[in-house]
């Protein structure tokens, strides 16, 4: 759920061309996505 939210905020940041919003959500979505993938792989 949090990864989806971060990706939506990233899309919003891209649509309004806000560099700070894009950078923050890119980093957050990458880290949260990595944790999600690891959690799914190593059940």
Q: Which residues contact 32 (CB under 8 A, 6 or more apart)?
A: 2, 3, 6
Predicted confidence at residue 36, as pLDDT, reads: 94
The residue extents of the domains of the chain are 2-41
CA distance 30 to 9: 13
Predicted confidence at residue 43, as pLDDT, reads: 86
Percent of the chain scored above 90 by pLDDT? 93
Those residues of the chain that have pLDDT short of 50 are none
CA distance 34 to 40: 10
């Amino acid at each position: 759920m949090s990864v989806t939210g971060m990706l939506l905020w990233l899309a919003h940041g891209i649509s309004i061309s806000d560099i700070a919003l894009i950078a923050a959500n890119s980093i957050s979505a990458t880290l949260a996505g990595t944790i999600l993938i690891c959690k799914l792989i190593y059940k």
